[in-house]
Amino acid sequence: MKPRLLVTGGAGFLATHLLHQATNFTATGTLHRTAATSIPDVSFHVCDLQQPQEVRILLDRVNPEIIIHTACSDQGGNLSVIAPAAGLLASQAAERDIRFIHLSTDQVFDGMTAPYHEASEKHPINPYGTAKSQAEDLVRSLHTQATIVRTSLLYDLRIPDRQTRQLIQTTQTEERYHLFTDEFRCPIWVEKLAQALLELAKKDYVGILNIGGPESLNRWDLGMELLKHFNITPTSNIQKGTIEESGFLRPQNLTLDSSAAQQLLVTPLLSLEEARKVVGKIHKEA
């Protein structure tokens, strides 16, 4: 019998990759406002994770053994849902003895004392980081056996992700677009994060785990590498910038140390160059 897996945010970026790869699970995704693309052997349930009654009905119907909670990101304009939805799911999962993996972010840190380890103290400086930090606290207090995965920027190499799409579109306009040279992240290929999470789902690891890519890149270098990957020539309206010049409140250096995850998991957390080689190889074999 395959373990029953519930993935929240089923039409979202990470969840779609999780559900495509979850062939060793009996997998279900939740839907909210967006329709999902059909995925073989995956069922979907509509559920607003803010509604306790809807969450109870969902869990009664699906009866999952594992939940991977990806829903409620910085998209959609409603950050106020992030903490309560995580708390509601965590408490229900604890009550029903369901393994719970909660997706969090490197943005729970202020970017002043990188690299960040699992034990590093949180200090969010923007509303998204604050909401995700509150969600982590709720999950830890309501489900003592939960796993909290802090990850970094997710990118895709087959179909451009949201931010890369925006960058590509900008090359077709004259609109000025700044990529920060002073913001550092550990970007991870969404396919590898999904693979790592599915491996983690079958382990009983408790607590915080960083799962980012193995290299720290600034936004300019990452943007240029992704344009190169998709064979797009950068245009002169895409320029180097800094967080300070922009006036935005953003953490500068969010380098994550993911060595604990790399020791725990067989899934390799590839650098961008290594990931590009995998995609190149798959293309040649296809």
Ligand X SMILES: NC(=O)c1ccc[n+]([C@@H]2O[C@H](COP(=O)([O-])OP(=O)(O)OC[C@H]3O[C@@H](n4cnc5c(N)ncnc54)[C@H](OP(=O)(O)O)[C@@H]3O)[C@@H](O)[C@H]2O)c1
> Which positions lie near ligand X, rule CB under 6 A?
9, 11-15, 30, 32-34, 48-50, 70-73, 75-76, 81, 85, 103, 105, 151-154
Of all residues in this chain, which one has the CB nearest to ligand X in the complex?
12
CA nearest to 159, candidates 1, 25, 26, 37? 37
CB of 84 to ligand X, least distance (A): 9
Pick the closer one to ligand X by CB: 72 or 261: 72
Bridge-based pairing of strands 207-211 and 147-151 is parallel
Identify the three-state secondary structure at position 282.
Answer: helix
Give the H/E segment covering residue 26: strand 26-31
CA nearest to 6, candidates 33, 20, 27? 27
CB of 35 to ligand X, least distance (A): 8
CB of 42 to ligand X, least distance (A): 14
Pick the closer one to ligand X by CB: 81 or 279: 81
Q: Residue 155's beta-bridge partner residues?
A: 189
CB of 258 to ligand X, least distance (A): 13
Pick the closer one to ligand X by CB: 30 or 98: 30
Pick the closer one to ligand X by CB: 35 or 237: 35
Q: Encode 140-169: b = buried (16+ Cβ within 10 Å), e = exposed.
A: bebbeebbbbbbbbbbbbeebbeebeebee
CB of 279 to ligand X, least distance (A): 18
- 135's tokens: 């969600």
Pick the closer one to ligand X by CB: 165 or 281: 165
